[in-house]
Structure 1
Amino acid sequence: MELGTIRVLLVEDSGFDVIVIKDMLTKKMDSSFKKTNFEIIRADSFRDAKSKLANNFFNIILLDLTLKDSMGLDTLRKMYAETPETPIIVLTNINDHLVAINAVKEGAQDYLVKGQFNSNLLMRAIHYSIERHKMLVALRSMALIDQLTSLYNRRGFLNLANHHIKLAKRKKRNLLFLFCDLDNFKYINDNYGHLEGDKVLKDTSSILKETFRESDIIARFGGDEFVVLAIDVNEEDEKIIIERLKRNIINYNVEKKIDYSLSISMGSAFYEPSDITDIDEILNKVDQLMYEEKKKKYRNR
């Protein structure tokens, strides 16, 4: 098993247990782990772990459930809520089958009782946990992706948006929401066929991908509606982003030389951390702004 360097966040308040775990991860008794290196960062409390997670990437977390500022399965729940994208192995002195089952239900990839595992077992648990977590992420993504455009679907967007709203509030990051609706999409379907309509949807998704960053969340929200969450932006970026999107649409219409013009109505709203509300309220606001723009277009015809 080869995975290069694995960055481990060891959340453990016992200095003795830290020495034991570090020693296990440097022994590499099993030859199959010879090419794996472990970079171990220790946090001695939940608060310390939160701080390190905010500024570092980790492949896995080894979590003691009994910390000076957090106890029991609540420690796991809080850690999982903090970083659901990182696999967690629980390390504990409690040899309780029911607690172990509940830990897995709460998001842990594995549950190891201190004093009952050796170096090889720990290393295997780490490797398998990372791989299982990757498979779970892949399976979840299949249910969160729109098959036609390969963007996130409505469910995927709402899941990720809620997560990033929490992060934005905690880490003091600004957010920009954009709601887009294709103009005259029914006309395209009725006059050029549904295959052409599907092509327009796919081309629109490509334009949005070209306009926004990989770190931004782009979704086909339903039918001919698209929504974007741009992360960690400044208020002055809003106008720049919208102008970039409009320019990319113009370029598309010129380059494609199609009989009809691709047109998008959009509504956008910038949020500072203190202004961020729940996702439904935000989407309702940008949706209303989008419809106001669409009405203006029809009035000016």
Structure 2
Amino acid sequence: MNNSIRLLLVEDNDADARIIQFHLKACSEIRVSVDHVGTLSDAIAATHDHGYDVLIVDMGLPDCSGLANVTRLREAAPTATIIVLTADDDDTDALEAIRHGAQEYLSKQRLRGPLLTRAIRHSITRQQHLLTAQSQAMTDALTGIGNRRAFEREMDRRIHEYQRHDVPFCLTIFDIDHFKKINDQWGHDVGDKTLRVLSESLYNEVRATDMVTRLGGEEFAVIFVATQLAEALKVSHRARAKIGERCGARIHDDMQLTISGGVAEVAPGDDLRTLINRADEALYVAKNSGRDRCLAHDGTLICGEISETCAT
């Protein structure tokens, strides 16, 4: 921890805030830069503007109190280390705070410089271990991209954002054509290489804000953020064409690799399953009408271009 730790102190009692800041500045083991706010609303705004490493929050704030402070700060700053301060010494509250996303719980009655320093150091370490474990749980071991769990979490987040703020997004499900034949003809090592090359190629064809995941087997998904159906279909067509042109030779001299895709846009009333079902239906038609193509489901029709009527 040689770099300065960016810390936000959320404490409405100015006297307590001065004591905590004194202990932090007096500490020689860690370097800390401290910002101070007195309400939860100001803390949430500050976390959006600055990337804090550590949040120290009083459990009793004027605009929010108790475990809701921890829950709302965790939502606002998913990767930050959270340390809770309280006026009492209740172990039950401490356990509940940790269950709600805090890394440490300190009583103001026992707060001293060395204790605060150790709490910060150990809490950062615990949070780093937690984030590493979460990342591993969300990563496909073969390809290094997100797995189905990561896909479902991001889809839930995007659906929630659409419902609250009307931000559109699209989903494309891609499937490798004749993947079983690849395994049968060249073996599973080549099959695994195919999956890795395809994931890398899809990742390179979309924006940094979009998300590429492996759903399982030879099936991949791309979540196109803030994108409508026509644009998502266009990008999916382009990715499919480039993969067909370039990827086969990277895997094996004699391979011709093609993929098919089904595209759908979120609509009112959608949940995870209904949106996946529409993309799957478009993919099914693409597979059964010659493969090596992308089709879109507009809610009623399945089309190769948004302006045309291709299939019902």
- Please give the range of the TM-score, normalised by the shorter of the 2 chains: 0.7 to 0.9
What corresponds to 1:202 in structure 2?
196
Q: Taking structure 1 as the reference length, what is the TM-score of the superposition?
A: 0.84
Contact 1:5 / 1:39 at 8 angstroms: preserved in 2? Answer: no
Code of the aligned partner of 1:296: S
Distance in 2 of aligned mates of 1:175 and 1:125: 41
- Separation (CA, whole Å) in 2 of partners of 1:238 and 1:103: 42
Query: Of residues 38, 59, 83 in structure 1, which corresponds to 2:77?
Result: 83
Q: Which one of the candidate residues 149, 166, 170 is aligned to 1:176?
A: 170
Deviations 1:81-101 (A, max 9, x none): 343322211011121111112
Q: In the alignment, is residue 248 of structure 1 matched against residue 242 of structure 2?
A: yes
Structure 2, unaligned runs of 5 or more: 294-312
Give the equivalent residue in structure 2 for 1:159.
153
- Distance in 2 (CA, whole Å) between partners of 1:97 and 1:221 is 42
**Cα root mean square deviation, aligned:** 2.8
What is the alpha-carbon distance in structure 1 between the residues aligned to residue 42 and residue 213 of structure 2?
Answer: 35
> What displacement does 1:137 show?
1.2
CA distance in 1, matches of 2:15, 2:165: 33
Give the alignment partner of residue 149 of structure 1, picking from 143, 149, 166.
Answer: 143
Pair 1:64 & 2:58 matched: yes
Cα distance per residue 1:17-52 (max 9 Å; x no partner): 222222222222x3x32xx23142x33322233323
2: CA distance, partners of 1:238 / 1:78: 33
Residue of structure 2 in register with 1:99 after alignment = 93
Secondary structure of the corresponding residue to residue 220 of structure 2: strand
SS at match of 2:142: coil
Please report how far the alpha carbon of residue 246 of structure 1 lies from its aligned counterpart in structure 2 after TM superposition: 2.7
Change (3 A) 1:231 1:23: farther
Give 1:299 deviation, angstroms. 11
Distance 1:175 1:12 in 2: 39
Greater RCO (Cα-Cα under 8 Å, separation 6 or more): 1
Which portions of structure 1, spanning 4 or more consecutive aligned residues, are displaced by more than 6 angstroms? Answer: none
Are 1:287 and 2:286 counterparts? Answer: no
Displacement of 1:229 in angstroms is 2.0
Is residue 113 of structure 1 aligned with residue 112 of structure 2? no
Distance 1:279 1:20, change over 3 A: farther
1:269 to 260, 264, 267: 264
Q: 103, 108, 116: which is aligned to 1:122?
A: 116
Change (3 A) 1:50 1:292: farther
Indicate the residue corresponding to 1:259 in structure 2.
Answer: 254
After TM superposition, the structure 1 stretch with the greater mean CA deviation from structure 2, 180-189 or 227-236, is: 227-236
CA gap 1:59/1:216 in 2 versus in 1, 3 angstroms: farther
Does the 8 Å CA contact 1:60/1:86 hold for their aligned counterparts? yes
Give the SS at the match of 1:99: helix
- CA distance in 2 between partners of 1:16 and 1:138 (Å): 37
Residue-pair matches, total: 292
Aligned match of 2:10 = 11
Q: How many angstroms apart in 1 are the aligned matches of 2:124 and 2:269?
A: 33
For 2:245 and 2:135, the matched residues in 1 are separated by 32
Q: Name which of 285, 289, 312 aligns with 1:296.
A: 289
Which whole-Å CA distance do the structure 2 matches of 1:123 and 1:238 have between them? 49
